[in-house]
Chains A and B, each alone.
Chain A
């Protein structure tokens, strides 16, 4: 079998070299189809990626309906919570981990007065954020629940900010000037950026990760600037000093529930909470609470831009055209060799032999098309990244996409070769012997 395959391979190379123009046409056709398809598939793959590989399945967003009866015309509860409800659920500690958080933007003032202050995205959160999302640390660690209660003036900073302020060294214990407050660094992260930015799509579904993490209670006490969406109803207003009591949903609340049973128990607890609030008159509506998974939320928010899907469908259609084209060209190429194939049949080659040989040839075209297609996809992704949209700039090819490219192109070429190879096998032996 091994030597037979080697023989087919050699025959294939010879035959491909016999009509270089036709071979080139086929390779180009496969490559263009594969290139366009992989470019858009990669963009889609990145945007559809799992933000917390291996862990997102146990992360949920609890949701309930706090709005007044006359202000709700949406079927789903808001994707944020009020301060009152968030704090109540946080302190109840019914999940493995729970974190209440809010986006923001802080101004950092370097100690060196000659360096201009700069603004960085921040997240104000409670202690469990780090263990729940499995955030990787380079130095130090997150903070404890007690620090939340004490409104400790501490911060966790990103790798990038650590590099900018402290040259990348271990800065745990040093302090940073955030707006008008001095915060002590307790931890430095490794580069960490969940894509999409699932825990708060209000600041942008493909927002970059935050550079400063501050206890939520501390951030509220020192009035660090907020960022993100606010949904108010009734008499709710966004006046800064009244946010904690306002009828507004403006915080993100996430929990970790490790099993379906834990999720069920948590949902029951949430519904008890809703009934209690309804009885107290805080909630006008008695709507069942929900636990939304990360994946479900991304679907609901329509995180993948529709343009990317459109491009994918177009690229697929494009790929089909290229395949049809390849089938036609292969047919031309194989039938042109009817004479040669007839001779081989007359000399004892079986239909299967001919068929296998031609498919090997098709596979080689696919392989060559894959190589060129990969280069084209690489150029295509460079072009995609020229797009100033944040989501587009994330499009990079990873190993799985690389393998997909080759598998897809060889499969496509084999598929395209099936019909022409079958047709070529129908050549009766000896018919062409006479005319030679």
Chain B
């Protein structure tokens, strides 16, 4: 097999501008596609962040009840009893937020009362048995006991003493007490001290911040809808959607004047939270496909032009004994060389682009693996795109040499 690299390079030098443009285009495409694919995988990984709960068993309802001067404890108890009676409801509680719920409650946490400024601002879960109901796993220590929960308003107005116990998620424990066993330690929220009694393995919070998504504190408060919490129900796996409608109807029966402001299964909560990430990923994938198509079309266009320009030369070569395969290989090698130059330049550009993205969008560094993958796909794309013009070149008959 003969590879005519030297004559190809000589020929390309005669088409310096068009070759440079093609190389530039391949380089830019390579750089953009590498970074876009990296962004997409990064988003997909983020969208897969585990919540740590039994997602297919959870649904939530929020109500607004007009009216003042009602016994809010009694009303909450009546609601919970009505929900418990609904067929399919295994458990129910009033919880302030859900993992990825988009409604995040945070408080400043201090490790010592003498600290002027909180060491961290952390997401808080309020609600009786919230982690058990959601299906979080106990990793260490113990759950908050039923007798340790108190109504949040009673504790806020100091009508009842707080039990001063909390649980942490594993990432929160690691952040607050690096290298130490968190169980038994004290944390301070406001001026109140709380003893850490247990750690849950995983319970994502409702924040959009990737770095702190796993950090949360679980408090010993019984929540109330008037404090902005919603009713969260637990059902058999996969039943959350069907039970939800009956649960909302049951609540409406307790007091017809109220308004359901939110009625969602956990699957919907999660999907809403990541909606813009999904949209961005889809947009990027679309852009990449179009970009690759454009580059392929550019290669087809320029290759066709070169073939048309060189018909006579090709005819002469054929008359001098070059086979059809030689001609085909000539154009394929030419494209391979151009693509290789483009890819080499593209890698440098890809890294440069990644550095800019890292600075402005807090993206991680582009892993090496993307570059060979990007190179391979561009080589393939180039070979496929050049095939049709190259075949047309190979079809040129030696008679062409004799034409004026």
| Chain A residues near B (Cβ < 8 Å) | 21-22, 25, 28-29, 32, 36, 70-71, 73, 105, 107, 109, 116-119, 179-180, 223, 225, 237, 239, 305-307, 309-311, 314-315, 317-318, 320-322, 324-325, 327-329, 331-333, 335-336, 383-384, 386-389, 392, 419, 423, 435
How far, in whole Å, are A105 and B295 apart by their CA atoms in the complex?
A: 53
* Cβ contact within 8 Å between B291 and A321: yes
* Cβ contact within 8 Å between B275 and A321: no
Q: Which of A305, A307, A328, A389 contacts B302 (CB 8 A)?
A: A328
| Residue B64 is within 8 A (CB to CB) of chain A in the complex | yes
* Cβ contact within 8 Å between A388 and B275: yes
Min Cβ gap B386→A in Å is 14
* Cβ contact within 8 Å between B66 and A321: no
Kindly list 12 other residue pairs between chains A and B, CB separation below 8 angstroms, not including A333-B305, A389-B275, A392-B276: A109-B66, A118-B259, A180-B66, A307-B276, A310-B280, A310-B361, A318-B32, A318-B291, A324-B28, A328-B301, A329-B302, A336-B305
Min Cβ gap B95→A in Å is 19
Q: A119-B64, A179-B66, A317-B28 are in contact. Are A322 and B361 (CB under 8 A)?
A: no
How far, in whole Å, are A311 and B258 apart by their CA atoms in the complex?
A: 42
* Cβ contact within 8 Å between A117 and B294: no
Chain A residues near B257 (CB, 8 Å)? 109, 117
Min Cβ gap A230→B in Å is 12
* Cβ contact within 8 Å between B18 and A315: no
Chain A residues near B181 (CB, 8 Å)? none
Chain A residues near B305 (CB, 8 Å)? 22, 332-333, 335-336
Q: A117-B259, A322-B294 are in contact. Are A328 and B272 (CB under 8 A)?
A: no
* Cβ contact within 8 Å between B261 and A29: no
Chain B residues near A109 (CB, 8 Å)? 66, 257
Binding site secondary structure of chain B: helix
How far, in whole Å, are A109 and B67 apart by their CA atoms in the complex?
A: 12
Q: Can you name 19 A-B residue pairings with CB atoms under 8 Å?
A: A25-B297, A25-B301, A28-B294, A32-B294, A36-B287, A116-B259, A117-B257, A119-B259, A119-B261, A179-B66, A180-B67, A306-B361, A311-B283, A314-B32, A314-B36, A314-B284, A321-B25, A388-B275, A423-B17
* Cβ contact within 8 Å between A329 and B301: yes
| Residue B6 is within 8 A (CB to CB) of chain A in the complex | no
Interface centre among A118, A311, A314 (most CB of B within 10 A): A314
Q: Which of A70, A328, A384 contacts B18 (CB 8 A)?
A: A328
* Cβ contact within 8 Å between A107 and B28: no
Chain A residues near B64 (CB, 8 Å)? 105, 107, 119, 225
How far, in whole Å, are A384 and B66 apart by their CA atoms in the complex?
A: 37
Chain B residues near A119 (CB, 8 Å)? 64, 259, 261
* Cβ contact within 8 Å between B259 and A386: no
* Cβ contact within 8 Å between A419 and B275: no
* Cβ contact within 8 Å between A223 and B66: no
Chain B residues near A423 (CB, 8 Å)? 17
Q: Contact flags (1/0) for B40-72 with A, using CB distance below 8 Å?
A: 000000000000000000000000101110000
8 shortest A-B CB distances, which residue pairs? A332-B305, A328-B21, A387-B279, A70-B116, A325-B298, A388-B275, A324-B25, A107-B66
How far, in whole Å, are A332 and B18 apart by their CA atoms in the complex?
A: 8
| Residue B3 is within 8 A (CB to CB) of chain A in the complex | no
Chain B residues near A311 (CB, 8 Å)? 280, 283
* Cβ contact within 8 Å between B66 and A70: no
Q: A22-B301, A318-B291, A336-B305 are in contact. Are A388 and B21 (CB under 8 A)?
A: no
Chain A residues near B39 (CB, 8 Å)? 310
Chain A residues near B309 (CB, 8 Å)? 335-336
Min Cβ gap A137→B in Å is 28
How far, in whole Å, are A386 and B67 apart by their CA atoms in the complex?
A: 38
| Residue B156 is within 8 A (CB to CB) of chain A in the complex | yes
| Residue B136 is within 8 A (CB to CB) of chain A in the complex | no
- Contact residues of B between 291 and 307, Cβ < 8 Å to A: 291, 294-295, 297-298, 300-302, 304-305
How far, in whole Å, are A383 and B66 apart by their CA atoms in the complex?
A: 39
| Residue B206 is within 8 A (CB to CB) of chain A in the complex | no
- Contact residues of B between 92 and 124, Cβ < 8 Å to A: 116-117
| Residue B237 is within 8 A (CB to CB) of chain A in the complex | no
* Cβ contact within 8 Å between B297 and A29: yes
How far, in whole Å, are A210 and B202 apart by their CA atoms in the complex?
A: 39
Q: Contact flags (1/0) for B10-49 with A, using CB distance below 8 Å?
A: 0000000110011011001101100010010000000000
How far, in whole Å, are A392 and B283 apart by their CA atoms in the complex?
A: 13
Chain B residue with Cβ nearest A35? B290
Q: Which of B117, B279, B308 contacts A70 (CB 8 A)?
A: B117
